[in-house]
Every structure is written in C-alpha cells, then in structure tokens.
Amino acid sequence: MKRLTLIFTLSALVFACVPKNRQDSEFSAADVAGDPEKRLAAAGLVELRGGIETDLAYAKEDPTGQMNFLKTNVYGTLRKCYLQKEVAAKLNSAQIILKRTLGGKASLVMYDCARPRSVQQKMWKILPDARYVANPASGSNHNFGASVDLSFRDAEGKIADMGVRFDHFGPESAFNYSGVSAPAKKNRLILREAMQQAGLFPYDAEWWHFDGVANPRSQYKIID
C-alpha cells in the first residue's frame, strides 16, 4: 500500500512537467514527414523533461561500436527522448526517487526511448539477426513508445558502473549475473528500485531495459 501511495503521489507531482499531447492537425503533412520530433508528437507522444539527461545511442556515429553497436546514426536528426505520456510521467517520478536516494548530481540518462518502425527497419538492414535486433515485421517494444534503455549518473555526476556497458551482448548483462563487482550489483539495484517504485517494469536479461507498462503492444499502436 505504501508503494502504491508513493507512485500515485509522485505521478501527481510530475504530471505538470509532461506537456500535453499535440494533435495531428497542428502539423502539416510536410512538417510531419520532414521532422522526426514532429512525427512523434503527431503520433501522440511527448518529449521527456524533468531535467533527465538524454544521450540517444543510435543517433551517434560511432566507428568503435562502444556505444552504438550499429556504428552509424540511424536516428537522423532526432536527439530528444519521446514517450507515451503515461510513461514519461513515470520516468519523471523515477528521476525524483533517484535524486532523493543519491542526492548531488544524480540523474537518469536515457540511451533509447521511442523508436519508429522506420528506424527499426534501418537497424534490421544493417544487422538482420533477431538475437540482437528485433525484426521490424513484429517490431520491438521501443516501437510502441513505451520502453526505455537507460543508466544513471551518481551523486558526483559520474556514469554508474554497471559491470558491463549498455547493449553488451552476453550473459553478464542480466540483472542478477553474479560475476559483476559489488559496486555494479549495487548500482543495478539502485536503478531497478527507482524504476519499479515509479511503476516501470524491468527486463531481467538486460539491466538497462524497462517497459513503462506491463505489455506495451496491448496498449499502444506501433509508431511508423
């Protein structure tokens, strides 16, 4: 009961930080076609705010593949995090919880948010392997605007040690993998607790992935 009360209270506090959905009529067809942010807004998604840092991994040109395993920018000019309104409100709650827990310069850092299916198709063209990239025919949970990949900065403003980097392909990425260091285990738990207290759902195989609702596909339409 205490957890539910906390979720509802925090959601009420941050709801005003989430902008209202824009209607399709606010944008011309040319605007929507040429601007990915307007296209996401026209689909009913909102920009994540609340002081949360956004650093979209797949918008980077990264020949080393250290942050973007695709090595090339597949997001075009999109640099902001867009999500379903309900999910954005939960992320703002998680930010408040994290700051209350760690203090200082602590902040969530978003690596991936809403991902249009057109981007999923680009990813599949580069790496058509369902072990690493969801087939756009069925789509990824990210294609519904309700899932996120993220980490956080600690009280000193440093990216938290999670044992392995975001998008590491291996068993070490699992939340409960026993081989990571004690600090990494603690940081994984800090992130998970903040997200779960805010009402998001973890994916055990990837410490960085959370869904904003239990089954995004059953609640939202795919974003093209």
- Cβ-proximal residues to 63 (8 Å cutoff; 6+ apart), any chain: 71
pLDDT tens string, the chain, 224 residues long: the values are 555 445 444 544 444 454 444 444 443 333 444 689 999 999 999 999 999 999 999 999 999 999 999 999 999 999 999 999 999 999 999 999 999 999 999 999 999 999 999 999 999 999 999 999 999 999 999 999 999 999 999 999 999 999 999 999 999 999 999 999 999 999 999 999 999 999 999 999 999 999 999 999 999 999 98
pLDDT of residue 101: 97
Cα–Cα distance for residue pair 72/59, rounded to 1 Å: 8
Cα–Cα distance for residue pair 93/96, rounded to 1 Å: 5
pLDDT of residue 21: 47
pLDDT of residue 31: 40
Cα–Cα distance for residue pair 223/36, rounded to 1 Å: 11
Pairing of strands 107-112, 147-153: antiparallel
Phi and psi, residue 153, nearest 5°: -95, 145
pLDDT of residue 19: 46
For 21, the token pair is 């959905």
pLDDT of residue 34: 63
The length of the chain is: 224
| Alpha carbon 52 to its chain's center | 11
pLDDT of residue 65: 94
CA separation (Å) from 97 to 68, 91, 135? 28, 10, 35
pTM of the predicted protein model: 0.85
Domains in the chain: ranges and CATH: 2-219 (3.30.1380.10)
